[in-house]
Amino acid sequence: MKLLVTGGSGFVGSNFIRYMLGAYPDVSVVNLDKLTYAGNPANLADVENEPRYSFVKGDIADAAIVESILSEGGFDAIVNYAAESHVDRSILDPKAFLTTAVFGTYTLLEATRKFAIPRFVQISTDEVYGAIMEGETLESAPFEPRSPYSAAKAAADHLVASYWSTYQTPVVITHAANMYGPYHYPEKLFPLFITNLIEGKKVPVYGDGMLVREWLHVDDHARAIDAVLRRGVLGESYNIGTGDRLPNIEITKKLLALLGKDESSIEHVKDRPGHDRRYALNSQKIRRELGWEPKIGFDEGLATTVEWFKANEAWWKPIKSGEYQKYYDAQYGGDRVS
């Protein structure tokens, strides 16, 4: 299986590439990534010299670069992880969110048609459904995005679905819950709180801390996308979740316990504007139809993630100190790296 993975130098995409290359000797991957602030070649340093992996620095909205990659031929699928992913940044400056989600996804869809790629997998989010105050969301639920990030993702999903109904472009869309695990950029709840606590700093809990997210280990997500690539029905969408739903304050207290801190490390700060209070996915479809289920329990995943951050200060310290930007410009300023 030959894959074009976009946004593969970020948190979720890099863990997917590592999983696929490790699990299947017949999988090869071209990773197209713009290397924004969140894209980090160090996330894939361990596969950099693997002959089945190659990296192209570029923008998914650049048709020339996308087409030059696909001209190599033999691609079985495109998996589109590329996006601006942080809700707080989308509130400060939405433009890049729209450009990548809408024009980037459009460019990939057009290339999928032109090169007759057999499968296009759009990696989306539970946030497109908006806040779910009770019960669970099915794939058939209407989209009610409430941040520029989730609105941009919803727009991209609508575009993907329209290519199925209009051109029969072979697409599948996934809606995943909040992920956590290794190589998570330290601006998000888990990695920010873990690294702050290791550094002896306080953790900023937004609002009352009673906002509920559903948590999925990034490796379980990789296995879900593998199942969608192999068995997902074209034109369908699949929720990917665990049912592990916790308020942020409970997660914070678990992290304090794991890192030997007390509640004096908590700082309650101003809430995020338009903050969705709860997400909850019904993930029966992917379990029933594709035979996927999560393997990593929340407490186990939390503990191993904390251990990973404790053991990998060399990965996150340069990011938090701002040296990382200079590092990747110097290391990876050129086009094709391998």
Query: In angstroms, what is the minimal distance from the CB of 125 to ligand NAD?
Result: 4
Tokens at 135, concatenated: 């019960």
- From 81, 106, 129, 149, active-site residue: 149
Counting residues that bind ligand NAD (by CB under 6 A) gives 31
What is d(CA 84, CA 7) in angstroms, rounded to the nearest whole number? 9
The residue of the chain with the least Cβ separation from ligand NAD equals: 10
- Residue 156, C-beta contacts closer than 8 angstroms, at least 6 positions apart: 83, 101, 102, 104, 105, 122, 124
204 binds, among ligand NAD, ligand DAU, none (CB under 5 to 8 A by kind): ligand DAU
- Residue 51, C-beta contacts closer than 8 angstroms, at least 6 positions apart: none
- Residue 149 designated active-site: yes
Our finding on whether 9 is near ligand NAD (CB under 6 A) is yes
Q: Please measure the distance between the N-terminal and C-terminal CA atoms of the chain and give it in whole angstroms.
A: 19
- Residue 102, C-beta contacts closer than 8 angstroms, at least 6 positions apart: 152, 155, 156, 159
Our finding on whether 100 is near ligand NAD (CB under 6 A) is yes
Residues 240-279 that bind ligand DAU (CB under 6 A): 248, 272, 279
Query: In angstroms, what is the minimal distance from the CB of 128 to ligand NAD?
Result: 9
Residues 77-96 that bind ligand DAU (CB under 6 A): 85-87
- CB 238 within 8 Å of CB 139: yes
192 binds, among ligand DAU, ligand NAD, none (CB under 5 to 8 A by kind): ligand DAU
- CB 180 within 8 Å of CB 218: yes
Q: Which stretch binds ligand DAU (CB under 6 A): 133-141, 206-214, 238-246, 288-296?
A: 206-214
Report helix, strand or coil for 48.
coil
- Residue closer to ligand NAD by CB (options 77, 83) is 83
Binding characters for ligand NAD, 46-85, by CB under 6 A (x = yes): -------------xxx-------------------xxxxx
Residues 278-297 that bind ligand DAU (CB under 6 A): 279
Tokens at 44, concatenated: 């894939």
Residues 149-188 that bind ligand NAD (CB under 6 A): 153, 176, 178-179, 185
Q: Which of 18, 57, 146, 188 touches ligand DAU (CB under 6 A)?
A: 188
Report helix, strand or coil for 244.
coil
Ramachandran class of 266: left when φ > 0, alpha when ψ lies in -120 to 50, beta otherwise? beta
9 binds, among ligand NAD, ligand DAU, none (CB under 5 to 8 A by kind): ligand NAD
What is d(CA 236, CA 189) in angstroms, rounded to the nearest whole number? 31
- What is the chain's alpha carbon radius of gyration, rounded to the nearest angstrom? 19
Our finding on whether 154 is near ligand DAU (CB under 6 A) is no
- Residue 126 designated active-site: yes
Query: In angstroms, what is the minimal distance from the CB of 126 to ligand DAU?
Result: 5
- From 127, 219, 244, 276, active-site residue: 127
- From 33, 126, 157, 220, active-site residue: 126
Virtual torsion, Cα 64, 70, 71, 76, nearest 10 deg? -170
Q: Which stretch binds ligand NAD (CB under 6 A): 11-19, 249-257, 267-275, 304-312?
A: 11-19
- Residue 110, C-beta contacts closer than 8 angstroms, at least 6 positions apart: 63
Our finding on whether 192 is near ligand DAU (CB under 6 A) is yes
Tokens at 213, concatenated: 């997210």
What is d(CA 242, CA 224) in angstroms, rounded to the nearest whole number? 11
Instruction: Give the catalytic positions in this structure.
Output: 126-127, 149
Q: Which spans of this chain sit near ligand DAU (rule: CB under 6 A)?
A: 85-87, 125-127, 177-178, 188-189, 192, 204-206, 211, 213, 248, 272, 279
